[in-house]
Amino acid sequence: MVMPKIHPSLPQTQALNSDTFSLPPLDSSLNFAEVMEWTATHSPTHPLFKYPLVDGGVRTICWAEAYKAVLAGCKILRQRIKASGEASRPVVGILSISDVIPYSMNLLSCFRLNFVPFPISARNSSVALAHLIEHACITHILLGRDSSMHDLLQSALSVLREKHPESTAPEVLPMLQFDEVYSPSTETVQLPEVAPFVSAGPDAKAIIIHSSGSTAFPKPIAWPNRCFDKFQYTSFFGGHDLTGLVLSLHTVPMYHMMGIYPLYCAAACGLVVSAFQPTHPVILPTSDNLYTAAKSTQSDIIFCVPSILEQWATNPEYVQWLASRSGAQFGGGPLNKEVGDYLTSQGVNLFLVYGLTETGAVATVFPEPAGYDWDYFTLSKSATVELIPYGDKTYEPVIVPSEFSVPCVFNTTVNGVPAYATSDLLSPHPTKAGLWKVFGRTDDQIMHSTGEKTNPGPLESILNQDENIMSSVMFGRGKFQAGVIIDPVPKAQFDPTNEAKLAEFRNLIWPTVEAMNAYAPQHSRLFKEMIIVANPLKPFTYTSKNTPRRGAIINLYSDEIEEAYAAVDKTTQSSIPPPSEWNSTQTLKFVGLVVRSVLGKDVPDNVDIFQFGCDSLQATWIRNSILRALRDSSSVDTRSIKENVVYTNTSISSLSNFFVKFADGNTSDDSFSIPERMALMQSLVSKYLTKHLPVHQPRSPPQGSGVVFLVTGTTGHFGSHILASLIEDATVARIYALNRPSSAGQAIGARQAQAFSSWGLDVTLLKADKVVLLEGDALHDSFGLDELVYNEMTESVTHIIHNAWTVNFNLGVNSFEDNIRSLRRLVDFSLGSPLDTPPKLAFVSSIGVLQNAQGTVAVPEAPVSAEIAVGSGYAESKWVAEEILRRVEAYSPTFNALVVRVGQLCGGTITGSWSTTEWFPALVQSVKATKCIPTDNKPVSWIPTDLAASILVKLTSSSFKPKGSIVHLIHPDPVAFSILADAIASALDVPTVAYNHWLSRLQILNDDKGNGASAENIRALRLLTFFQEMSSDRPTGEAMGAVRLDCTQLKESSALQSVQYEPLGAVNAQRWLEYWRSVDFL
Q: Residue 609, CB half-sphere, CA atoms under 13 Å: how many?
A: 32
Task: Name the band, by pLDDT with cuts 50, 70 and 90, for residue 616.
Answer: low
More confident residue, 644 or 693: 693
**Of 217, 273, 268, which is closest to residue 245 (Cα–Cα)?**
273
Task: Name the band, by pLDDT with cuts 50, 70 and 90, for residue 941.
Answer: very high
| Cα 609 to Cα 115, 524, 605, 614, 653, distances in angstroms | 34, 20, 9, 6, 11
**Dist CA 1040 CA 1023 (whole Å):** 14
Phi–psi pair at 1063, nearest 5 degrees? -60, 150
**Dist CA 336 CA 348 (whole Å):** 15
Task: Name the band, by pLDDT with cuts 50, 70 and 90, for residue 224.
Answer: very high
pLDDT tens digits along 797-854: 999 999 999 886 655 687 688 899 999 999 999 999 999 999 999 999 999 999 888 7
Burial of 852 (0-12, 13-18, 19+ CB in 10 A): middle
DSSP 8-state assignment for residue 51: E
Model pLDDT, residue 544:
44
Q: What one-character-per-residue DSSP string does 975-1034 give? A: EEHHHHHHHHHHHHT--EEEHHHHHHHHHHHHH-GGG---TTT-GGGGGHHHHHH--S--
Cβ-contact 829, 696 below 8 angstroms: no
- 709 bridge partner residues: 735, 799
Report CA torsion sign: 266, 271, 276, 279: positive
pLDDT tens digits along 8-47: 678 999 999 999 999 999 887 899 999 999 999 999 999 9
Quote the mean pLDDT of the chain. Answer: 88
Q: What one-character-per-residue DSSP string does 442-483 give? A: TT-PEEPTTS-EE-HHHHHHHHTTSTTEEEEEEE-TTSSS-E
Model pLDDT, residue 6:
65
DSSP 8-state assignment for residue 377: B
Evaluate if pTM is beyond 0.75: no
**Dist CA 889 CA 961 (whole Å):** 12
Burial of 682 (0-12, 13-18, 19+ CB in 10 A): middle
Is residue 571 pLDDT above 80, yes or no?
A: no
| Cα 646 to Cα 527, 636, 649, 663, distances in angstroms | 19, 19, 5, 16
**Dist CA 452 CA 458 (whole Å):** 16
Model pLDDT, residue 236:
94
More confident residue, 210 or 611: 210
**Dist CA 510 CA 995 (whole Å):** 49
Average pLDDT over residues 688-708: 80
Task: Name the band, by pLDDT with cuts 50, 70 and 90, for residue 7.
Answer: low
Is residue 1 pLDDT above 50, yes or no?
A: no
**Dist CA 749 CA 772 (whole Å):** 10
Is residue 495 pLDDT above 90, yes or no?
A: yes
Q: What one-character-per-residue DSSP string does 493-553 give? A: ---TT-HHHHHHHHHHHHHHHHHHHHHS-GGGPPPGGGEEE--TTS---B-TTS-B-HHHH
Model pLDDT, residue 405:
93
Cβ-contact 127, 135 below 8 angstroms: no
Domains of the chain: 32-304 (3.40.50.12780), 455-566 (3.30.300.30), 584-667 (1.10.1200.10), 903-1082 (3.40.50.720)
Q: What one-character-per-residue DSSP string does 309-342 give? A: HHHHTT-HHHHHHHHTSSEEEEESSPPPHHHHHH
pLDDT tens digits along 61-104: 999 999 999 999 999 999 999 754 445 799 999 999 889 999 99
More confident residue, 115 or 547: 115
Model pLDDT, residue 567:
72
Cβ-contact 416, 438 below 8 angstroms: no
Report CA torsion sign: 514, 515, 516, 519: positive
Model pLDDT, residue 853:
84
**Of 651, 502, 488, 492, which is closest to residue 567 (Cα–Cα)?**
502
- From the CB of residue 135, how many other CB atoms can be counted at a distance below 10 Å? 14
Model pLDDT, residue 837:
92
More confident residue, 331 or 274: 274
**Dist CA 515 CA 3 (whole Å):** 59
**Cα angle 867, 871, 872; round to 5:** 140
Report the amino acid identity of residue 789. Answer: V
| SS3 state at 183 | coil
Model pLDDT, residue 630:
87
Q: What one-character-per-residue DSSP string does 244-291 give? A: TPEEE-TTS-TTSHHHHHHHHHHHHH--EEE-PPP-SSPPPP-HHHHH
| Cα 742 to Cα 202, 307, 310, 350, distances in angstroms | 53, 16, 11, 19
pLDDT tens digits along 227-280: 999 988 999 999 999 999 999 999 998 998 889 999 999 999 999 999 999 998
**Dist CA 793 CA 945 (whole Å):** 28
**Dist CA 156 CA 452 (whole Å):** 22
pLDDT tens digits along 400-420: 999 999 999 998 888 888 999
Q: Are strands 446-447 and 453-454 parallel, antiparallel or unpaired?
A: antiparallel
Model pLDDT, residue 126:
87
| Cα 838 to Cα 414, 632, 734, 848, 892, distances in angstroms | 75, 53, 17, 29, 11
Phi–psi pair at 705, nearest 5 degrees? -90, 0
Is residue 501 pLDDT above 60, yes or no?
A: yes
- From the CB of residue 164, how many other CB atoms can be counted at a distance below 10 Å? 12
Report the amino acid identity of residue 669. Answer: D
Is residue 749 pLDDT above 60, yes or no?
A: yes
Cβ-contact 620, 792 below 8 angstroms: no
**Dist CA 995 CA 715 (whole Å):** 34
**Dist CA 199 CA 197 (whole Å):** 6
**Dist CA 847 CA 853 (whole Å):** 10
Share of the chain above pLDDT 90, in %: 59
Question: H or E element: which one contains 221?
Answer: strand 220-224
Task: Determine which of 558-562, 612-616, 1057-1061 has the lowest per-residue pLDDT on average.
Answer: 612-616
pLDDT tens digits along 951-1000: 999 999 999 999 999 999 999 999 999 999 999 999 999 999 999 899 98
**Dist CA 1027 CA 34 (whole Å):** 77
| Cα 282 to Cα 99, 604, 870, 1066, distances in angstroms | 6, 19, 47, 68
- 52 bridge partner residues: 58
**Of 258, 212, 447, which is closest to residue 360 (Cα–Cα)?**
258
Give the CA radius of gyration of the chain.
33
Residues in the chain: 1082
Q: Report long-range pairs for 58-66 (Cβ below 8 Å, ≥24 apart).
A: 58/296, 58/297, 59/277, 61/101, 61/182, 63/39, 64/40, 65/182, 66/40, 66/108
Task: Determine which of 719-733, 851-865, 1020-1034 has the lowest per-residue pLDDT on average.
Answer: 1020-1034
Q: What one-character-per-residue DSSP string does 914-954 give? A: --TTSHHHHHHHTHHHHS-EEE-SSEE--EEHHHHHHHHHH
Is residue 450 pLDDT above 70, yes or no?
A: no
Question: H or E element: which one contains 428?
Answer: strand 424-428
DSSP 8-state assignment for residue 570: T
Task: Name the band, by pLDDT with cuts 50, 70 and 90, for residue 628.
Answer: confident
**Of 262, 225, 235, which is closest to residue 34 (Cα–Cα)?**
225
DSSP 8-state assignment for residue 8: T
Cβ-contact 24, 267 below 8 angstroms: yes
**Dist CA 598 CA 413 (whole Å):** 46
